[in-house]
């Protein structure tokens, strides 16, 4: 039996004008995500793309990967067969045996692209439905809410049979919306933020601030592990690790304690913006959410925001922690995120941070570091680049 994957385009079906380009990018992304499994051929149909393994490949792994590629509404595995009704009947009973055994109700749908096929769609449905009932005595027909929908499609050179669809990752194909740079910590929120923006078609790069010896090698490895999980959806993430110790020590030594965190966050933004510019990014992404901690009150966010000119995307801004956790479980970053390693945000935290900082006060506090520009330039010159895939 020859099995293929059928992919149903998501939102890109709506994008009349650019549909072709979008589909090409989607195919390129699928090709990349499947590249180390073997060779596949991709054929565009009306609103589906056929993914056809050239070699003898176990499709489980391939389906799993394709189900994480953005821009796909739904996918299904299908079995090819000869374009005659006997072959269609036999293939259905054999290929879908397990699923038909497990179901209580079913219906049949038929699509006939080849109008020369001797049976019309309603006849195929009726005849195949009758055959299924004669083979699986426990089954009942339910045309409104069946446990399994058996779909038969008659195309020009072959027919295929398939069962239920699997939900796709949705969103837009990565790379159709430009590039942005995510500020990634080891926490729960920033990997979720990265995933959410990648889902909108944005290609990611990432910046992580490390403060050895206050933060450990293990904390950095944890961040790389998180990025790997995000990369299963977004594709490659070029990551820049910035040495942040000297800057944090300067903030600690020279600025009023109540502004430590907010100034640190501003400097993170400034450095990230410089790296992002070089990487052709048009926005920064953070995992901030209003009110979550003192550095994320609206007043504090205003102070961080005005440190840069680039737009800052904060997709978690209106979500509460439980909603963010639900996404992190879905993308399998939660268990990694909760491993307890120190982040640079948690060293030198003030006892009483200002929850309503004013921009002017923060800027004058920051100006106590008179060589900040030099420190920033030095940190950027020592950045370590890691390719995450
Ligand atoms: P997260 O769960 O993403 O760590 P958080 O709720 O712990 O978020 P903060 O620690 O205040 O909040 O960080 C807010 C945002 O700042 C993070 O979502 C992330 O985008 C960025 N950030 C924090 N620490 C770092 C870091 N070490 N390197 C890069 N970005 C960071
Ligand atoms: Mg954090």
**Cα–Cα distance for residue pair 67/75, rounded to 1 Å:** 7
Query: Angle between the 298-305 and 260-278 helix axes, to the nearest 10 degrees?
Result: 40
- Return the pLDDT at 45: 83
Please work out whether the CB of residue 181 comes within 6 Å of at least one atom of ligand 1. Answer: no
Q: Where does the pLDDT of residue 353 fall: very low under 50, low under 70, confident under 90, or very high at 90 and above?
A: confident
The C-alpha angle with vertex 107 and arms to 101 and 111, in degrees rounded to 5, equals 120
- Return the pLDDT at 342: 79
Give Cα 182 distance to the centre of its chain.
13
Question: Which residue CA neighbors atom 7 of ligand 1 most closely?
Answer: 187
| Mean predicted confidence (pLDDT) in 151-158 | 92
CA of 348 to the centre of ligand 2 (A): 14
Which of 180, 181, 186, 189 has most ligand 1 atoms within 8 Å of CB, for mutation? 189
Provide the CB-side half-sphere exposure for 219 (13 A, CA): 22
Number of the ligand closest to the Cα of 343 = 1
Lowest pLDDT segment from 115-129, 244-258, 302-316, 336-350: 336-350
Please work out whether the CB of residue 227 comes within 6 Å of at least one atom of ligand 1. Answer: no
Q: Is a pLDDT exceeding 70 seen at residue 11?
A: no
Number of the ligand closest to the Cα of 316 = 1
| Mean predicted confidence (pLDDT) in 324-345 | 92
- Return the pLDDT at 226: 98
Taking Cα atoms as reference points, which of 226, 154, 148 lies closest to residue 192?
A: 226
What is the DSSP annotation of 278-346? Answer: HTT---EE----TTSSGGGSHHHHHHHHTT-SS-EE-TTTT--HHHHHHHHHHTT-HHHHTS----GGG
- Return the pLDDT at 47: 76
Interval 89-114: pLDDT, tens:
999 999 999 999 999 999 999 999 88
Interval 185-243: pLDDT, tens:
999 999 999 999 999 999 999 999 999 999 999 999 999 999 999 999 999 999 999 99
Q: Is a pLDDT exceeding 60 seen at residue 351?
A: yes
Contacts of residue 169, Cβ cutoff 8 Å, sequence gap at least 6: 67, 68, 69, 70, 71, 72, 199, 233
How much of the chain exceeds pLDDT 90, in percent?
84
Expressed in percent and rounded to 5, the helix, strand and coil fractions of the chain are 45, 20, 35
Q: Is a pLDDT exceeding 90 seen at residue 348?
A: no
Question: Which residue CA neighbors atom 20 of ligand 1 most closely?
Answer: 286
Interval 270-319: pLDDT, tens:
999 999 999 999 999 999 999 877 778 999 999 999 999 999 999 999 99
Q: Is a pLDDT exceeding 80 seen at residue 347?
A: no
**Cα–Cα distance for residue pair 73/11, rounded to 1 Å:** 8
| Mean predicted confidence (pLDDT) in 121-128 | 95
- Return the pLDDT at 14: 57
Q: Is a pLDDT exceeding 80 seen at residue 46?
A: no
Contacts of residue 177, Cβ cutoff 8 Å, sequence gap at least 6: 200, 201, 202, 203
Q: Where does the pLDDT of residue 13 fall: very low under 50, low under 70, confident under 90, or very high at 90 and above?
A: low
Give the mean pLDDT of the chain.
Answer: 93
Number of the ligand closest to the Cα of 271 = 1
Q: Is the pTM of this model over 0.85?
A: yes
Contacts of residue 38, Cβ cutoff 8 Å, sequence gap at least 6: 53, 54, 55, 57
SS3 state at 166: strand
- Return the pLDDT at 12: 54
Please work out whether the CB of residue 343 comes within 6 Å of at least one atom of ligand 1. Answer: yes
- Return the pLDDT at 237: 98
């Amino acid at each position: 039996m020859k099995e293929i994957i059928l992919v149903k385009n998501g939102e890109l079906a709506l994008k009349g004008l650019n549909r072709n380009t979008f589909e090409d990018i989607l195919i390129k992304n699928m090709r990349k995500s499947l590249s180390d499994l073997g060779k596949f051929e991709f054929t565009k149909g009306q609103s589906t793309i056929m993914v056809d393994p050239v070699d003898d490949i176990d499709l489980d792994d391939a389906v799993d990967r394709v189900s994480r590629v953005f821009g796909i509404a739904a996918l299904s595995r299908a079995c090819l067969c000869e374009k005659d009704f006997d072959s269609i009947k036999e293939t259905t009973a054999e290929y879908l045996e397990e699923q038909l055994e497990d179901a209580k109700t079913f219906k049949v749908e038929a699509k006939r692209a080849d109008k020369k096929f001797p049976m019309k769609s309603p006849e195929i449905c009726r005849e195949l439905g009758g055959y299924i009932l004669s083979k699986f005595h426990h089954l009942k027909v339910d045309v409104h809410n069946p446990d399994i929908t058996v779909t038969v499609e008659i195309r020009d050179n072959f027919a295929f049979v398939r069962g239920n669809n699997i939900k796709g990752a949705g969103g837009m194909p990565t790379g159709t919306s430009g590039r942005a740079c995510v500020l990634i910590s080891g926490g729960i929120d920033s990997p979720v933020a990265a995933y959410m923006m990648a889902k909108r078609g944005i290609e990611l790069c990432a910046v992580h601030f490390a403060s050895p010896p206050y933060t450990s090698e293990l904390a950095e490895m944890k961040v790389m592990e998180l990025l790997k999980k995000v990369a299963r959806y977004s594709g490659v993430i070029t990551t820049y690790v910035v040495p942040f110790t000297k800057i944090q020590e300067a903030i600690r030594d020279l600025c009023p304690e109540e502004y430590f965190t907010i100034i640190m966050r501003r400097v993170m933004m400034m450095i990230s913006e410089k790296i992002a510019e070089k990487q052709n990014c048009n926005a920064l992404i953070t995992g901030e959410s209003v009110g979550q901690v003192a550095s994320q009150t609206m007043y504090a966010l205003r102070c961080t925001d005005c440190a840069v000119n680039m737009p800052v995307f904060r997709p978690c801004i209106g979500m509460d922690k439980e909603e963010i956790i639900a996404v992190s479980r879905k993308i399998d970053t939660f268990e990694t995120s909760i491993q307890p390693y120190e982040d640079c945000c948690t060293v030198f935290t003030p006892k009483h941070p200002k929850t309503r900082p004013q921009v002017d006060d923060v800027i004058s506090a920051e100006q106590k570091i008179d060589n900040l520009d030099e420190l920033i330039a030095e940190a950027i010159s020592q950045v370590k680049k890691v390719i995450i895939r």
